[in-house]
Amino acid sequence: MDMIRIFCPATVSNLSCGYDVLGLALEQVGEEMIIRKASDDQLTIRQTEGPEIPLDPAKNVAGVAARSLLDHLGIKEGFEIEIAKRIKPGSGIGSSAASASGAVWGINQLLGAPLSTMELLPHAMTGEAIASNAWHADNVAPCLLGGFVLIRSYDPLDVIQLSFPNDLALTIIHPHIEIKTAEARTLIGDKILLKNAVAQWGNLGGLIAGLASGDHDLISRSLVDHLAEPKRKHLIPGYDEMKSVALAAGALGFGISGSGPSVFALCKGMKKAEEVGEKLAASFSPLNIAFDLHCSRIHTEGIRIIP
């Protein structure tokens, strides 16, 4: 095999109570990559569609992730990475993570899969780190593995694939404003009040228990964010109004996707996600800020080959 064409899912991370430790993959939203073996030992990046991203392999997360993998394996081969950038960079739904994960997954396949998908994670994270100035796996892990994942530990890396009810669906609103991930991270600071920490880990446990037992009420009660939402929501115009609209329309929960500006509503069933999406769009439209609306189930597969 000299060439591979893959679908790399968009991802929603944090999920209210899981700052840096929870993420899920979307089924209907993602981007395509084609990776080819090169005749020389160079890494090259080409972009066929979407907003401009750096094409220098040292500045593109796909190039940095690929280099990390190839150096680890001691392989001198070159690859051409072609990206159809359908997830807008800086959207908060894992644009950079999709490219970093796709590069390592695709190259690993072309090399005959010397590493497991789990073993690819640190290399995807190395690529992702240049976009966000942080070592985090809550987008690359669900992108690579699919489903709903928990990063139980970063040192050593321990990623758990969670059980979840198969009727969950999400609505995402991506307002076309810019929030720099690195800046949004500094808003959080490095201290948390004990009473907030207690509330946060109570909710995180509750969410995971609710996902495992299919208890939608418990999932809903647990989708509360005492850490990032209070410090970041002012960056997203209309946030409080959208949250009230989503919850009144029957969403299980509403929060910021990653560091924003995208917001998500988690719903029971695709029909409910679409209904909530319509109401959110009606609530956001008067602000006269362009936005994208996505409705999607959770993607259980992770990255997959497009035949």
Active-site annotation, residues:
128, 181
Classify residue 63 by its DSSP letter. H
With CB under 6 A as the contact rule, the residue among 33, 61, 140, 267 that binds ligand ADP is 61
Residue 181 contacts ligand ADP per CB under 6 A:
yes
Which stretches of 172-223 are DSSP H helices? 181-188, 194-213, 216-222
Residue 90 contacts ligand ADP per CB under 6 A:
yes
With CB under 6 A as the contact rule, the residue among 65, 66, 120, 131 that binds ligand ADP is 131
Residue 255 contacts ligand ADP per CB under 6 A:
no
Which phi and psi angles does 229 have, rounded to 5°?
A: -55, -45
Judged by CB, which is closer to ligand ADP: 185, or 272?
185
Which of 251, 256, 107 minimizes the C-alpha distance to 170? 251
Minimum CB–partner distance for residue 236 and ligand ADP (Å): 14
Q: Which residue has the tokens 């009727």?
A: 167
- Cis link prior to 165 (omega < 30° from 0)? no
- Count of alpha carbons within 13 Å of 292, Cβ hemisphere only? 14
Part in contact with ligand ADP (CB under 6 A); list of ranges 59-67, 140-148, 200-208, 281-289: 59-67
Residue 11 contacts ligand ADP per CB under 6 A:
no
Residue 132 contacts ligand ADP per CB under 6 A:
yes
- Cis link prior to 261 (omega < 30° from 0)? yes
Minimum CB–partner distance for residue 246 and ligand ADP (Å): 21
At position 215, the amino acid (one-letter code) is D
Minimum CB–partner distance for residue 186 and ligand ADP (Å): 13
Minimum CB–partner distance for residue 176 and ligand ADP (Å): 12
Instruction: Give the separation between CA 94 and CA 89, rounded to whole angstroms.
Output: 8
- Residues in contact with ligand ADP by the rule CB under 6 A: 53-54, 60-62, 83, 89-92, 94-97, 99, 131-132, 181, 258
